Chain A
Amino acid sequence: MIARAGNWAMRAAPWLAAIAVNWIAPDYMSLAASVLTMGLFALSLDLALGHAGIVTLGHGAFYGVGAYAAGIFAIHVWADPLAGLAAATLVAGLVGAVTGALILDTSGLTLMMLTLAIASMIAEFANSARDLTGGDDGLTGIRPSPVLGLFRFDLWGHTAYLYTLAVVFVWTMIAWRILGSPFGHSLDGVRQNAARMRAIGAPVRMRLIAAYALSAAMAGTAGALGAQATKTVSLASLGVLTSGTVLMVAVLGGMRRRWGAYLGALVYVVGQNFAAEIDPFRWMLVIGLMMIAVVMFFENGLAGLVDLLDRRARPSTGGGK
């Protein structure tokens, strides 16, 4: 019972801390919101790449599609942020389902190249559809109405932060639930050995398409949150750099680890923010060294490092789970 309560406390503590940030660090609301958004984005990649083993270099496409969908929806249809969020999630999920159906019977390098190619095509489409997206000037003029008609997006970003936190919380709970379900376990099976999963009757391709669409939808939500927070969308949000960054964040934090995506986002986004003020070049050096250290020594990323320190601190619990 005590262990169980402790477990719950462990799970609730980070969320309570995140709520507390609203009062502890009122000067850093937009930075804190970026951490959450990036964390959600990295979690979406962890679902597709970490769990289902879909090697993708084009996940930025779904983030960007979500961002543009939310922006365009807010400008042309309805400024309600939650409706925009739902629309962006749906559109990104659909794009994920359709592109997934096209490419997910391949694997490895071929699949990686195809994800990259599709992301490039989507970026080029956004570039040429100037009337809709603003092309390389970016999409501006997004003015989300108050959340639920009640909470105005204030100048200091408190509403935006708490709104982001709420959305991220809901998606994370859904993601964790999915990962603990038979479906989630079957994705881990597909990653390890697709032939084995077919041998027990699993429709592997459909399973992967579902995971990919789900992951794309989640990335789309992250993109929408980004668009609503910054009130602009640029072509860069769809770009290769976005795909690369989220991959770094996910690996840095630790793939397939409960808090990995958020740990990675916290270190990356906060580090980048402060280091950029001092010396942006050295920051990339620091991130590069950290990546090397993680990839070479800490297979499970920062989340694995935390486990290691935890075990050091309490050697009596043995090496259990």
Chain B
Amino acid sequence: MLISVAIVLALLGAWELYVRLGSVDALLLPAPSAVAETLVEDRGMLWSNLTVTAAEIGFGILLALAVGLGLAIALHLSRSARTAVYPLLVASQAVPIVVVAPLLILWFGYDLGPKVAIIALLAFFPVVVVTLDALAATDAELLRLLRSMDATRWQRLRFVELPAAVPAAVSGAKVAVAVAVIGAVFAEYSGSDAGLGHLILQSIPQLETARAWAAVVVLAAFAVLLVSILAAAERRLSYGTRLPHSPKGPS
């Protein structure tokens, strides 16, 4: 924590010096002090745009998790589905979102819907890949035991494979958060009337570069907040990594 604060301070100092010494136009790169000033001055505008973008990202991640987990389970249960669908999933990630996004906006308008769809389209992929791998890596000994107790396919999934895959799914969600933030900016660039991405898009031609950078800072802080919530969830869900208690009683 201390080290990351030191790194950030050092970078900010270097940046400030770089701008102050006049090597770059302040319209291209504002000094951190100017960005900080804008953060305070424009806090009302930044906050109202953040609520728009936060809703897009929140719903987008929820949709990505629902679709991602559902697909991972379906592909895990059916080998033929896996062979058929997995290449399509990879292909879906190869389609540049800038090509698809304007179409979605054209079809569904400037509302929340198309932005949630764009974010989910980008963010579901890491969830599927990581969860699918974890489901396949379930301890064979546990599955053998369940079979010896005549567990059905559904029971093996419910009692062993799914709980075993939970930590991986949370890891996938962490990657999804980072992707979702970028996705939200893309989606708002493609057509929107509010949100931090929209604000960035408007501020640059207005020569309000400091405001664009302030929006970036708010976005980054929001992403860090989401990832730390997930990291806390991950710590709660992890098992067997805490120090074992000294065994008491009969051994």
Do A and B bind? no
Residues of B whose CB lies within 8 Å of any CB of A are none
